[in-house]
Structure 1
Amino acid sequence: MDGCSNYNSLSVRKSCRSKEQARNKFKQGGIAHAQGLIFFNPFKAIKFAKQHGFPLVIKPNVSGFSRGSHFPIRNYKELWKAIFFAKCWWPFTVVEQYLQGHNYRVVVANGKIMSVLERYAPFVIGDGKSTIEQLIDVENKTREEMGLYPCMHPLQKGPQTTSFLKKSGYDLQTVPTKNENVTLFYRISLAPGGVVEVIDKSLLPEANKTLFKDVLKLFDANILGIDVIMEKGITLDHNEQKVIFLEVNSRPYLKMHSYPRYGKAEDLSVHFDELDSLDISQPDTY
């Protein structure tokens, strides 16, 4: 995919291909991660739900860009439905505990924090006068004027959005109250209209910087896109809040770091120069 990096050896990339591999590494390194399991038989997920309760996450063991992922799952009806759709992507499926918090992509390269993004599911903010449909049109126009396309995507108004809004008793003609945040879909990925915000990496406590660098060392990688949820936020010490590491990406999609909806895009050329100078084993073998 255009925009995905290629700075890790084949052996490192093979070690990062599934959620199960990442969880095992996190456990080995003492990195906080969600309790979960890999299953083929759906009844194992039902048993997990009975043991650990809701909310939960269901996702394919092998996938990317949040494809086939469903969260937060709050009951057994949603669980069965999520299992079915996740298995359309991959037969072996992950069920995990879900943490409500801030979702980040942290890119660590050559032992340094390269970039930090907070990721958001598609949403609009009410003004007390406009319908959700009108707010979507305004936001899409803003994204176009900012030159975010085609890296980012427009907000959608089709069945996917209307079905999600219906769960909250809304439709496209609903007029949200002023400053009301209306989520249009649950996934934080770019395809359904999700966006990113640049976080000033200098604001990260040293404990957090060390933690992310330790993850890079754990996988013996040159670069990783680390997905993590932090209950209170990345600018607060991870020891003072709940944290769940989700997975690592050995070929992180770096293009999106140049197209933030919020915050100012960083000049990452120094990091790219260092990465381009590396001697990578079998970079074009997949």
Structure 2
Amino acid sequence: MFCECLVDSFALPKGYEDLEISTQIIIRDAISRKIEVEIIDRGENFLRLKQGNHTEFIKEASKTRLDSLMSYLVMENKIASKLVLSEKNIRVPIGRNYSNLESALADFNTFQDRKKVIKPATTNFGIGIGISPVGDSFESFKIFVERALSYSSSVIIEEFIEGPEYRFLVLGDEVVAVCNRVPANVRGDGKSSISDLVAKKNDDPRRGEGHKTALEKIQMTEIEKEILQSQGLDFSSVLPLGVTAYLRKNSNISTGGDSVDFTDMVHPDFKKIALDSARAAGATICGVDIISSQIEKKPDLDTFAVLEINFNPVLYIHEFPYMGTPRTVGSKILDLLGFD
């Protein structure tokens, strides 16, 4: 069903390798249209594009004048985004938000009999997110809450919905691409240790650091060590042939995950849900994260939920997927901005 897609080194322009890869995509597509590209702030991936009398600023490839500051703020804040989605009768995980440690811990018994996600209200890239199992101890629950609150002044605790997570890229009135983001993982060959499998997977030229390549290297920090221990494994463990071990619970590509294109396989109703979610936040350009165990079938309220709306969606996971069909998305942003 899927093929591995290598990044063509000639597909991106030379001289911009220090910029994050989504910005490189915009520059490539602008140059192909004979749009003048001026780098305003290299460290911030801030560009100015000119075509005749038409000028546009773009930051980090998907921040443009098309979305208001308030739309950004609503999408950035998970409490606010969950509110606007709920008011439009869009299915979201059931949960509560807390502004301090004491109030969250006071509801420990409320969540003890279910698997739950504990996450900061205002972070991206899976930072500070913890998944607490059924019957988790109070001490472990407290650690998850404290970690989340260290990244944000508010924390959300909500039901954990089983299933893969999919990123729907919304540009204007269209879902232009969908990918399944698989958490960082390695597959056993029956003879190599997990650390060796990680090193081998990281040898892929598509993997690097700092969002300058199509994929990020898998790390071997205390976080990955902890995730492996929860599976009864460590970095020296040898996985049987074909057995997969996960080194992260979050599915972010930024922490070593894999992107698999699903654009042509999702049920059309899910694309409508993504568009409705973007409209609920007043967003023109965004990424909508949907979790579903049956993404190819008509949505069932028991098997899916909209997790987040992201205000600065990356482009490279769709242009250069780990597996599947590459999707041309950078050029569509230039279309939205009115360039020829």
Q: Is TM-score (shorter-chain normalized) higher than 0.5?
A: yes
What does residue 71 of structure 1 align with? 131
Rate the CA distance shift 1:204–1:127 in 2: closer, same or farther, 3 A: same
What does residue 236 of structure 1 align with? 297
Write the letter of the residue equivalent to 2:297.
L
Rate the CA distance shift 1:215–1:43 in 2: closer, same or farther, 3 A: same
Contact 2:93 2:305 in 1 (8 A): yes
Instruction: State whether structure 2 residue 85 is matched by structure 1 residue 26.
Output: yes
How many Å apart are 1:240 and its aligned residue?
Answer: 7.0
Rate the CA distance shift 1:129–1:245 in 2: closer, same or farther, 3 A: same
Could you tell me how far apart the structure 2 residues matched to 1:248 and 1:16 are? 5
Rate the CA distance shift 1:190–1:207 in 2: closer, same or farther, 3 A: closer
Could you tell me how far apart the structure 2 residues matched to 1:89 and 1:269 are? 31
Over the aligned positions, Cα root-mean-square deviation in angstroms equals 2.1
What does residue 203 of structure 2 align with? 141
What does residue 154 of structure 2 align with? 92
Rate the CA distance shift 1:148–1:115 in 2: closer, same or farther, 3 A: farther
Could you tell me how far apart the structure 2 residues matched to 1:34 and 1:271 are? 31
What does residue 56 of structure 1 align with? 116
Write the letter of the residue equivalent to 2:62.
S
Instruction: State whether structure 2 residue 188 is matched by structure 1 residue 131.
Output: no
Write the letter of the residue equivalent to 1:134.
D
In the alignment, structure 2 segments of 5+ residues that lack a partner are: 1-43, 46-59
Write the letter of the residue equivalent to 2:101.
P
How many Å apart are 1:42 and its aligned residue?
Answer: 2.9
Write the letter of the residue equivalent to 2:188.
G
Rate the CA distance shift 1:196–1:42 in 2: closer, same or farther, 3 A: same
Could you tell me how far apart the structure 2 residues matched to 1:158 and 1:214 are? 39
Could you tell me how far apart the structure 2 residues matched to 1:51 and 1:40 are? 17
Could you tell me how far apart the structure 1 residues matched to 2:79 and 2:224 are? 31
Write the letter of the residue equivalent to 1:5.
S
What does residue 71 of structure 2 align with? 12
Which of 237, 247, 253 is matched with 1:174 structurally?
237
What does residue 282 of structure 1 align with? none
SS at match of 1:264: coil
How many Å apart are 1:97 and its aligned residue?
Answer: 0.8
Could you tell me how far apart the structure 2 residues matched to 1:240 and 1:10 are? 32
Could you tell me how far apart the structure 1 residues matched to 2:234 and 2:283 are? 46
What does residue 102 of structure 1 align with? 164
Which of 258, 265, 277 is matched with 1:195 structurally?
258
What does residue 277 of structure 1 align with? 338
Contact 1:230 1:241 in 2 (8 A): no
SS at match of 2:75: coil
Q: Deviations over 1:32-84 (max 9, x none)?
A: 00111111233433454423432111111111111111124441332111111
Which of 238, 255, 258 is matched with 2:316 structurally?
255
Could you tell me how far apart the structure 1 residues matched to 2:232 and 2:226 are? 10
Of structures 1 and 2, the larger Rg is shown by: 2
SS at match of 1:16: helix
SS at match of 2:218: coil
Could you tell me how far apart the structure 2 residues matched to 1:23 and 1:265 are? 31
Write the letter of the residue equivalent to 1:29.
K
Write the letter of the residue equivalent to 2:130.
H
Could you tell me how far apart the structure 2 residues matched to 1:4 and 1:79 are? 37
How many Å apart are 1:185 and its aligned residue?
Answer: 2.0
Contact 1:4 1:255 in 2 (8 A): no
Rate the CA distance shift 1:164–1:202 in 2: closer, same or farther, 3 A: closer
SS at match of 1:203: coil
How many Å apart are 1:246 and its aligned residue?
Answer: 1.2
Write the letter of the residue equivalent to 2:336.
L
Write the letter of the residue equivalent to 2:216.
H
In the alignment, structure 1 segments of 5+ residues that lack a partner are: 279-286
Which has the higher mean CA deviation after the structures are superposed, 203-212 or 84-93? 203-212
Could you tell me how far apart the structure 2 residues matched to 1:109 and 1:266 are? 13
Could you tell me how far apart the structure 2 residues matched to 1:260 and 1:72 are? 30
Identity of aligned residues (%): 20
Contact 2:315 2:329 in 1 (8 A): no
Contact 1:73 1:79 in 2 (8 A): no
Rate the CA distance shift 1:240–1:166 in 2: closer, same or farther, 3 A: closer
Rate the CA distance shift 1:209–1:160 in 2: closer, same or farther, 3 A: closer
